[in-house]
Structure 1
Amino acid sequence: MSKVEIYDPAMCCSTGVCGPGVDPELLRVSAMLNVLESEGKKILRYGLSEDPMAFVMSKTVNDLILNEGVEVLPVTLVDGEVKKKKGYPSNTELATWVGLSEEELLKLVVKAQMASVINN
């Protein structure tokens, strides 16, 4: 099973989905990652503000920041290999990297939404 790591730029909180002006892209990514994590997929997310040592400890990410600046963030690694820079992965990319089809991922999202409605 692949390990997906997302290195976020500095944000106000660990997910960036707080405050009065929530970025819909951050909301989408956060929701997708939560669904994948709940299915046992290996997803790690590091925030520059919350976990700066993760950026230092990853030679790949550290080198990217030194060579391209923090503007390179967010960066996504899959099994240690850079798959995306300067933007968040699409639903299709996330699904592919964890061994699902986009349709399977969307079914999981609907399932999570239904469970949330039932539990509330």
Structure 2
Amino acid sequence: MKKMQIFEPAMCCSTGLCGVGVDPELLRISTVLNTLEKNGMHVDRFNLTNAPQEFVTNKTVNTYINESGVEGLPVIVVDDEIVITGRYPSNDEFVKLLNVPKSYVGEKRSPVKATFNKKHGCGCSGSDGCC
């Protein structure tokens, strides 16, 4: 299982979803992370206000911040390697980086269209074994 960590800039709370003006990107990230969690995938999320020690103890992130500054946050780390800086992953990137189905990030699979198979006399979606 892949290990993802998100190192975020200083925010008012652990998710950044407080106050009157909620950033839609932070809302999307929180939704994706909650959906991943429901599917058994845990992603560590640290922000500079609530978990500054994590930025110090993670040598890769610490080196990045010393070279690029906090303006380069968020930093996305997968298996101890920085894979994205300065932005959050798209839903497709979460799927690829964590090697999970799209449903794990809240995207529904496209429905399979059923057809009638005259030879076998059944409806076929490809999953009922008649085709």
TM-score (norm 2): 0.78
Say whether 1:72 aligns with 2:72. Answer: yes
More helix as a share of residues: 1
Partner of 1:57: 57
Q: Name the % identity.
A: 48
Partner of 2:38: 38
Shift of 1:104: 5.3
Report the Cα distance in structure 2 between the residues aligned to 1:44 and 1:65, rounded to whole angstroms: 18
Question: Gaps spanning 5+ residues in structure 2: where?
Answer: 110-131
Say whether 1:107 aligns with 2:108. Answer: yes
Shift of 1:103: 5.3
SS of alignment partner, residue 71 of structure 1: helix
Aligned residue pairs, count? 108
Report the Cα distance in structure 2 between the residues aligned to 1:104 and 1:25, rounded to whole angstroms: 18
**Residues 1:104 and 1:14: Cα distance change in structure 2 (over 3 Å):** closer
SS of alignment partner, residue 84 of structure 2: strand
Question: If you compute each CA radius of gyration, which structure gives the higher value, 1 or 2?
Answer: 2
Matching of residues 9-24 of structure 1 within 5 Å: 9-24=9-24
Cα deviation, 1:21-74, whole Å, max 9, x if unaligned, reads 000000000100111012111310001000000000000110011000001100
TM-score (norm 1): 0.85
Root-mean-square deviation (Å):
1.5
Give structure 1 regions of 4+ aligned residues with deviation exceeding 4 angstroms.
Answer: none
SS of alignment partner, residue 45 of structure 1: strand
Question: Gaps spanning 5+ residues in structure 1: where?
Answer: 109-120
Kindly indicate whether the alpha-carbon contact (under 8 Å) linking 1:65 and 1:72 is maintained by their aligned counterparts in 2: yes
Cα deviation, 1:55-109, whole Å, max 9, x if unaligned, reads 000001100110000011000000111110000111011111222243553139x
Partner of 1:118: none
The structure, 1 or 2, with the larger RCO (C-alpha pairs under 8 Å, 6+ apart) is: 1
SS of alignment partner, residue 84 of structure 1: strand
